[in-house]
Amino acid sequence: MLKTFLIISTLFVATLASSHLQILQSPKSLSFKGNDRLDSESLADVLAASLGFSVTHPCDWKGLYINDPFSPAKGVVAIVVDGVNEFDHLNSAKTNSYELIGTGAQESLDSLVFRVQEHNAEAIDLDLTQGFDVLDQYASQLGDIKPHIDKIVSSLKPSNVEDKLFLQQISTIQALTDNIKTLDNLPKFITIRLSLTPLISAHTLASPAVTDALKLLSNAVQDLTEATVKAYNNNAVVAVVTVVEDAFSRNKRATGSGRQSDPIPPNLNLALSYSEDYPVIFNIILWFSVVLTFSLLAISYTIGYMDPGRDSIIYRMTSTRMKKDN
């Protein structure tokens, strides 16, 4: 009875386990401090603020400090790991970890991809949990990336489907690490999504296979971080987002991400889509026009009631001097 209670309690705690945001690298213009919890829906705003974009929702999170607003990060690389609560293998003195509240981290990153694209910047979303066909979609930006297994670990057997899938995801990260050093046009935002859930389901969380898998992933992420720092000239943010999603939330994201959505019928008479900077530009033009109009009226009124004496500008500009013969 006690053993059953402990198992149920463990499963209950694992279900309520929150996700985490871990910052591995940030430029000098940004500072990540403290350990305040962050709403998962505000994750996109934090990364967007790192890129110098405006924040769409008010957020009182005190973990990000912008030291130089005129030198934002040139790029953000986010590695999303599904299936673990926190990636302990990356904990170090330079790593800042923040607990994420809620289960909207994946959807928040989806929105950031579209926001970056709306700014005419390049955003790459490598969702390896949906297969490796996405690599062909971004072949022109990232080069030829083909998942292949180079190194065989004794506890991970390519004959197992789950082990092979994880090893292919690791090889994809390693190939991206090699290619990012040679890219001419660096993307503004890169997100890499992979999942440890099938591997943990096939084995156990404390099994040697999962332990070795976490070590392989840690080494791959560290190599990618070093390559990103060199490629972006030490002016990039590298983050790891760990999420624990159930089947319901995963299916909800797959149907609501927008990439698999049905086309909108043309007869809905929808309103025009405006940029997020439209309110700012509208207010600048509106109040500048108001100030300019009232300034013009004040100047016209002052000139209209000015005394046209000899010492006024009206007399000096309109009077003609008589020519005198010497």
Average pLDDT by stretches of 10, the chain with 326 residues = 39 53 92 90 92 81 89 93 74 77 88 88 90 86 76 78 89 90 89 91 86 89 92 94 64 46 53 73 94 94 74 63 55
What pLDDT is recorded for position 21?
92
Question: In angstroms, what CA-CA distances link 33 with 198, 208, 210, 268, 284?
Answer: 34, 34, 31, 47, 34
Same domain for 34 and 173, yes or no, is yes
Same structural domain for residues 163 and 75?
yes
Residue 125 pLDDT: 93
Domain annotation covers residue 271: no
Pair 149, 295 in one domain: no
- Listed in sequence order, the residues at least 6 apart from 166 whose beta carbon sits closer than 8 Å to its beta carbon are 156, 194, 196, 198, 199, 213
Considering the domain architecture, whether residues 195 and 283 belong to the same structural domain is answered as no
Domain that holds residue 64: 2-256
Query: Which residue, among 199, 209, 215, has the nearest Cα to 165 in the 3D structure?
Result: 199
Residues near 177 by beta carbon (within 8 Å), at least 6 away in sequence: 220, 223, 224, 227
**pLDDT at 255 (0 to 100):** 46
Whether 198 and 303 share a structural domain: no
Question: Total structural domains in the chain?
Answer: 2
Domain co-membership, 191 together with 131: yes
> Quick one: how far is CA 232 from the chain centroid?
16
As a whole number of angstroms, the distance between CA 280 and CA 285 comes to 9
pLDDT at 265: 55
Confidence at residue 260, expressed as pLDDT on a 0 to 100 scale: 42
Query: Does residue 273 lie in a domain region?
Result: no
Query: What is the value of pTM for the model shown?
Result: 0.71
The pLDDT value recorded for residue 7 is 38
In this structure, is residue 268 part of a structural domain? no
Mark whether 182 and 292 lie in a shared domain. Answer: no
CA distance 196 to 212: 12
Dihedral over alpha carbons 42, 52, 145, 213 (to 10 degrees): -40
Domain assignment present for 229:
yes
161 & 283 share domain: no
Sequence-distant (≥ 6) Cβ neighbours of residue 303 within 8 angstroms: 314
In the prediction, which pLDDT does 193 show? 94
